[in-house]
Amino acid sequence: MTAFTPYLSTQIAFGVLIGVVLLLVSRMTLRRQAHSQFPTAGRMFAVWWGSLGVAWWVWAGDTLLVGSGASGSVAGLIDYMLVAVYFVFIFVAFASLFYYLLFLFVGSPRLSWAVWLLYGAIAVVLAGLLALADPPWDGHVTGLNGDAIFGAYTNVADVLGVVFIVPVIIAALSLFFVVRRAEDHAQRYRILLLSTSLAFYLLMPLFFDSNPGIQPDGTAAWVREILNKVGLLAAVAAVVLAYRPPAWVAKRIGARTQKGP
């Protein structure tokens, strides 16, 4: 049986904590849309954070299952279901974010059907690859490890992952160019913090993510893990500051209650 090492316990604790913070941010973002001129776009932004929060909890639960050393058909089925649920929430999150970003640039939800069609198609293909590479009845508990999940189909999954995430990253980074079109200092402040938050959240794992294994590969794994998770928490904190700036900042920029998405 696999022991619950400090490294594994730290990962699980960070996963639960990040999930809690993301759900709180989602609730705060949703409440800001009560008097919004574009409530649907704002709600999609809240769904992005909320879906990520649930996905982190599922990730923590599956990591707990892997760490327990469970095996057998029941454990394999639970592992398969947790991985599938994780991907469902991840796809909902990114599709919602892409909808929100498209609305900011296009100003209309007319392309929303294309967003959901694209991400839905990728989700179906990945679900099929997951079932082929790691059948739920084989009793094998892989956890959320890409190479172990997709096996011989890892290269195909990687390509689909690029198609899945690259458009969102490009759109999120493009928000920095929208700052120039802001009407006032308060709007410019919000856009800048939101774009910085999205850029950090999407790019941090690419630079500092450590493979979520049971045993660390030395001090470097701990450093990557801490930098990754702290960076993600900082990105989420930026969203809170965007909507609720400190009093001295609000006074300086003349910030008022957010009315837009």
Residue 214 has pLDDT above 70, yes or no: no
- How far apart are the C-alpha atoms of 194 and 200, rounded to whole Å? 10
- Measured CA distances, 166 to 66, 162, 202, 217 (Å): 30, 6, 10, 29
Domain ranges for the chain, please list them. 6-252
* pLDDT at res. 31: 82
More confident of the two residues 139 and 238: 238
What pLDDT was estimated at residue 41?
79
Minimum mean pLDDT range among 67-76, 104-113, 130-139: 130-139
**Res. 243: pLDDT tops 70:** yes
pLDDT value for 217: 52
Determine the residue type at 150.
F
pLDDT, tens digit (0-9, with 9 covering 90-100), for 45-90: 889 899 999 999 998 888 887 767 666 667 777 777 888 888 888 8
Question: 200 pLDDT band (50/70/90 cuts)?
Answer: confident
Spell out a b/e string for 209-230, using b for 16 or more CB atoms within 10 Å of the CB, else e. ebebbbebeeeeeeebbeebbe
Rg for the chain, CA atoms, rounded? 19
Lowest-confidence range among 70-74, 111-115, 206-210?
206-210
pLDDT of residue 212: 45
Q: What is the pLDDT of residue 153?
A: 63
Contact of 212 with 145, CB cutoff 8 Å: yes
DSSP string, 197-245: HHHHHHHHHHHH-----SS--SHHHHHHHHHHHHHHHHHHHHHHHHHS-
Q: Is 66 exposed, middle or buried (0-12, 13-18, 19+ CB in 10 A)?
A: buried
Q: What is the pLDDT of residues 147-192, one digit of tens each?
A: 455 656 666 667 777 777 777 777 777 777 777 766 777 778 888 8
CATH class of 6-252: mainly alpha
Predicted local confidence at residue 51, as pLDDT: 93
pTM, whole model, 2 decimals?
A: 0.78
d(CA 146, CA 130): 10
- The SS3 call for residue 36 is coil
17, pLDDT greater than 80:
yes
Query: Tell me, what's the pLDDT at 23?
Result: 92
| pLDDT, the chain, mean | 75
Q: Which of 52-61, 86-95, 119-128, 231-240 has the highest mean pLDDT?
A: 52-61
pLDDT of residue 213 exceeding 60, the answer is no
Instruction: Please give the pLDDT value at position 259.
Output: 46
**Distance, CA of 3 to CA of 123 (rounded, Å):** 33
Rounded CA gap, 134 and 127, in Å?
A: 10
Please choose, from the candidates 93, 162, 171, the residue with its C-alpha nearest in 3D space to the C-alpha of residue 126: 162
Q: Report which of residues 181 and 29 the model is more confident about.
A: 29
**How much is the pLDDT for 140?**
58
